[in-house]
A and B are shown apart, each in its own frame.
Chain A
Amino acid sequence: MKDYEIVVGLEVHAELNTDSKIFCDCKNVFGLEVNTQICPICMGMPGTLPTLNEKVVEYAIKMGHALNCKINSVCKQDRKNYFYPDLPKAYQISQAEVPICEHGYLDIFVDGEERRIGITRIHIEEDAGKLLHDDSFAGSLVDLNRSGVPLIEIVSEPDLRSTEEVKAYLETIKSILQYLNISDCKMQEGSIRCDVNISVRKKGSTEFGTRCEMKNINSFSAAVRGIEYEAKRQIDLIESGGVVEQETRRWDDVKGMSFTMRTKENANDYRYFPEPDLLTIVIDEDKIKSLKAELPELPNKKMARYIKDFGLSQMDATLIVENIDKCKLFDECTALNLCVPKNISNWILGDISKYMNETGKSILDTPLTAKRLCEMISSVEKGVISNSAAKRVMQIVIDEDKEPQQIIEELGLVQNSDVGFLENLAREVLAKNEKSVNDYKNGKTNAMGYLIGQCMKESKGKANPGMIKEIVIKLLEE
């Protein structure tokens, strides 16, 4: 394995969150009762015609700008022909020859290193419906609510060289989609999906190996698992004297294996040709410029600013910008200027991330506002409450929607920083624990931790932990 490197290119499909579908007026909403968001057009009834939703073009251009692409002010739509029951017209309207955006790049960060990944193209297309299976019915059922939902497909160059890079690329694409607010990016709802093109080659080689395309990848972690599996399969094949065949494989995440879907000989011939029902898309140059001017600050820029202005580490800055909610909270907090940005970052990446992971909720949907969070952090910074008390405060703010100050007062969490009081306390504890004191003097330094703990316990957690530590050390050294 060590002698080889993997070469990966990705095709990311993202559903756009426009109000209506791409070619009709039906609502673009996920999760409604089957076959309720449909009309003759997205059902592909005979005689119906598509008309392009211009918002889709705008959204695609925004993504094109974000990925540093050339925007083709004149582009076409094409038909991709194939039979499947979820595709009511038996062709998908997509873009083949001239996509709306091409020749871009995306910079990603892996272990603090910057890598530039080429973006081949971004094109617009329509989503298909969904097949459903019901135990009470022998055949398949079709739900066309998703038919005609707008998609962009973002195709990368084969520039990715590790699963870490793949993960970073996908996370960055996802965060950009969120920053632009053009996709809901809900993996579990299938609003982002990706196909992986992978080959392997001996390190140092400049030629590409034969690639396989892997489909049915439903999460970023599945992409990583799939690539690891496929890379190993290809390397084993080559090492045992075999040859990798170009083919399309289906990833089975449950089994952790991929299977042949179509060999090259059986590859679909999609018979692309220009969609005669739609006109050439012609975009005003001014429109292209104004969409560029409207772009929000994107993750990479934000990250650089966090590192420069706030002194965050590359790692922390990356982790914050990757999640738009965390990033929003961080921006709001730093704008308030009530506490040290590094401390805000620690809280967001610590307890707040933990809360979000455990509950699946966004912090923005809780009563923990930026102001409340900053007041709380500031109380810690000023030594008014301890870090552990602050953790309690945070949970109560979230659960009971109260002001941190009120909670601190009600629970009497203000810590004691009175030197006289703390010295008396420490002396009492040391007197009661002669054995530990002796242990410490005999070289068992961890006895000190126990003694500090006892002090905290005696004070019911209110002793200023930093100060009590200093005092205990001072007394032990006497």
Chain B
Amino acid sequence: MKLYEKTASELSEMLRRKKCSALEIYEDVSNRIKSVEDKVGAYITLSDETARKKAIEVDEALAKGEELHPLAGIPIGIKDNISTKGIRTSCASKMLENYIPPFNATVVEKINNADMVVTGKLNMDEFAMGSSTETSYMKKTRNPHDLDRVPGGSSGGSAAAVAAGEAILTLGSDTGGSIRQPAALCGVVGFKPTYGSVSRYGLIAFASSLDQIGPIGKSVKDIAMLQDIISGYDKMDATSKNMEYPKLTDNLTVNAKGLKIGILKEYFGEGVDDSVKESVYKVVKLFEENGAEIKEISIPSANFAMSTYYIISSAEASSNLARFDGVKYGYRAKEYDSLIDMYENTRSEGFGDEVKRRIMLGTFVLSSGFYDAYYKKAKIMQKRISSEFDNVFKDIDIIISPTVVSTAFKIGENIDNPVKMYYNDAFTVTANIGGLPAISLPCAKDEKNLPIGLQLIGKKFSEQTLLNAAYTYENLCGGFNVHSQIL
């Protein structure tokens, strides 16, 4: 088995037993990137020089017997909307094509302090708006399991890189499903933590009240290890929760007995592929056979989650993206006659269609005369959905559902049909609306050999319960095989 095919925890063990060096791990991943990146297109920017330097430093420190973090020396790729000091952070937009941040996001500081090896910046939908990574201005990313298909999005590069062996772990961001949906489509593990548990400082905002950074990887343990690094209170982010964050990795346990699982019936209805439904039911059965209590539950307002999500996220996006005005950084139109002209030309030329669509939608729902009918109503609905979840969680520990209605679709298939594209987020947006932690796990493959994902949702700050359930499933099913078999 190649080094790039191993999990982070396996590599961590090998490093400590001196079975390999950090540089060897990085070289292996780097060579893998060289051989498959042309086909996959996961990366926007590679940081080979600094990565190599970091790997050497880790080896030197280990040789001296220094105590390093368990993930020291493990290659990690970072979604291109997370600020990296000195490394271009484009958000896959023409607007920031040449933008190099003068500071690190808090999560990047934490990753650096843990001595992880940053391989580069990963492709995404422009400003994280999209479900296929097709709205990227920079390049196309292909699903490593079928190169004609999309990797999902918006963290398509992050999910594809893991499935293709181009990184051991990656960071994504999830506003409405942007970690879980591509993880499902690429057959890897993707975790959206509870809102407030990972600092957003340095994450270039899409929708501030919904955005959350999270890990993508090959196993639940890898996810727990990375989450342990990135989580925690940050005084730079007022919305980050000031509390103790016990180490998830230390308490991972396999135990289905007595686990109360709710089946969210609204998410097994029409429009969901049979193969997806069947696969998830199989998992439910597996849990049941091993002692879990299964209960059907209902979130009656779940059907309003999509519209609620698109109103709130677009409203916030229209304001968050207003700073890209050509004045201070990023793209500025070459030709203009006045200030207003400069703004209009810059933003018309600098943003892609999907971003413009959301900005227009968001501007509309916030404008006077429409605010009450849209934004205010959506906020009321958000509260209702949250309280319905709170109610449901009085009787159960976790909710199970498909992550996405179907498996990966073909590149170009949905790009001109926004509504159909938005439907990809149908099952994932609720976790963002409620601020809940949720994870997508690979659970089967369909007849085309495309990965199917299942989603587990927990209550706020119940990361340990949620990851234990995921870990239990991983063990019961005999482990995940996330790697592409066709590359």
The distance in angstroms between the C-alpha atoms of A83 and B201, with both chains bound, is: 24
The distance in angstroms between the C-alpha atoms of A45 and B203, with both chains bound, is: 11
Residues of B with C-beta under 8 A to A44: 323, 328
Interface residues of A in 39-75 (CB under 8 A from B): 40, 43-52
Contact of B322 among A90, A142, A272, A278 (CB under 8 A): A90
In the assembled complex, A269 has its CB within 8 A of some CB on chain B = yes
B200, B207, B328, B371: residue with the most chain A Cβ atoms closer than 10 Å: B328
A46, B101: Cβ atoms under 8 Å? yes
Residues of B with C-beta under 8 A to A40: 102-103
Residues of A with C-beta under 8 A to B102: 40, 45
Given A47-B83, A90-B323, A91-B322, CB of A52 within 8 Å of CB of B238: yes
Residues of B with C-beta under 8 A to A273: 315-316, 319, 366, 371, 375
Encode contact with B along A14-56: 1 for CB under 8 Å, 0 otherwise: 0000000000000000000000000010011111111110000
Q: Which residue from chain B places its CB closest to the CB of A277 in the assembled complex?
A: B208
Contact of A271 among B99, B239, B367 (CB under 8 A): B367
The distance in angstroms between the C-alpha atoms of A43 and B328, with both chains bound, is: 9
Contact of A47 among B202, B235, B238 (CB under 8 A): B202
In the assembled complex, A209 has its CB within 8 A of some CB on chain B = no
Given A90-B322, A91-B319, A273-B366, CB of A45 within 8 Å of CB of B239: no
Instruction: Give the distance to chain A from B483, nearest Cβ to Cβ, in Å.
Output: 32
Interface residues of A in 251-299 (CB under 8 A from B): 269, 271-273, 276-279
Residues of B with C-beta under 8 A to A79: 319
The distance in angstroms between the C-alpha atoms of A91 and B343, with both chains bound, is: 15
B105, A46: Cβ atoms under 8 Å? no
Q: Majority SS of interface residues in chain B?
A: loop
Interface residues of B in 270-310 (CB under 8 A from A): none
The distance in angstroms between the C-alpha atoms of A47 and B203, with both chains bound, is: 5
A47, B322: Cβ atoms under 8 Å? no
The distance in angstroms between the C-alpha atoms of A81 and B362, with both chains bound, is: 12
B91, B239, B323: residue with the most chain A Cβ atoms closer than 10 Å: B323
Instruction: Give the distance to chain A from B372, nearest Cβ to Cβ, in Å.
Output: 12
The distance in angstroms between the C-alpha atoms of A48 and B201, with both chains bound, is: 6
Instruction: Give the distance to chain A from B282, nearest Cβ to Cβ, in Å.
Output: 39
Given A85-B327, A273-B319, CB of A47 within 8 Å of CB of B366: no
Instruction: Give the distance to chain B from A274, nearest Cβ to Cβ, in Å.
Output: 8
The distance in angstroms between the C-alpha atoms of A88 and B363, with both chains bound, is: 19
Residues of B with C-beta under 8 A to A90: 319, 322-323, 325
Residues of B with C-beta under 8 A to A46: 83, 89, 91, 96, 99, 101, 204-205, 323-324, 329
A51, B322: Cβ atoms under 8 Å? no
Encode contact with A along B205-228: 1 for CB under 8 Å, 0 otherwise: 101110000000000000000000
B83, A88: Cβ atoms under 8 Å? no
Instruction: Give the distance to chain A from B319, nearest Cβ to Cβ, in Å.
Output: 5
The distance in angstroms between the C-alpha atoms of A272 and B201, with both chains bound, is: 23
Q: Which residue from chain A places its CB closest to the CB of B205 in the assembled complex?
A: A47
In the assembled complex, A89 has its CB within 8 A of some CB on chain B = yes
Q: Which residue from chain A places its CB closest to the CB of B95 in the assembled complex?
A: A46
B side interface size, CB within 8 A: 43
Q: Majority SS of interface residues in chain A?
A: loop
Encode contact with B along A79-111: 1 for CB under 8 Å, 0 otherwise: 101010100111100000000000000000000
Instruction: Give the distance to chain A from B238, nearest Cβ to Cβ, in Å.
Output: 5
Instruction: Give the distance to chain A from B43, nearest Cβ to Cβ, in Å.
Output: 20
Encode contact with A along B92-104: 1 for CB under 8 Å, 0 otherwise: 0000100101110
The distance in angstroms between the C-alpha atoms of A378 and B365, with both chains bound, is: 72
Residues of B with C-beta under 8 A to A48: 201-202
Residues of B with C-beta under 8 A to A271: 318-319, 363, 366-368, 371
Residues of B with C-beta under 8 A to A279: 238-239
In the assembled complex, B109 has its CB within 8 A of some CB on chain A = no
Residues of A with C-beta under 8 A to B205: 46-47, 277
Instruction: Give the distance to chain B from A141, nearest Cβ to Cβ, in Å.
Output: 11
B200, A49: Cβ atoms under 8 Å? yes
Contact of A83 among B103, B208, B325, B375 (CB under 8 A): B325
Contact of B327 among A47, A52, A88 (CB under 8 A): A88
In the assembled complex, B486 has its CB within 8 A of some CB on chain A = no
The distance in angstroms between the C-alpha atoms of A50 and B323, with both chains bound, is: 15
Instruction: Give the distance to chain A from B96, nearest Cβ to Cβ, in Å.
Output: 7
Q: Which residue from chain A places its CB closest to the CB of B81 in the assembled complex?
A: A47
The distance in angstroms between the C-alpha atoms of A415 and B182, with both chains bound, is: 98
Binding site for B on A (CB under 8 A): 40, 43-52, 79, 81, 83, 85, 88-91, 142, 269, 271-273, 276-279
Beyond the given A91-B322, A273-B315, please list 8 additional residue pairs across the A-B interface where CB-CB is below 8 A.
Answer: A45-B101, A46-B83, A46-B89, A47-B202, A50-B238, A85-B339, A271-B318, A273-B375
Closest 9 CB pairs of A and B: A90-B322, A271-B366, A276-B208, A276-B209, A47-B202, A46-B204, A47-B83, A47-B204, A85-B327
Q: List 12 A-B contacts (CB under 8 A).
A: A44-B328, A48-B202, A49-B200, A49-B239, A51-B238, A81-B322, A269-B368, A271-B319, A273-B315, A273-B319, A273-B375, A277-B205
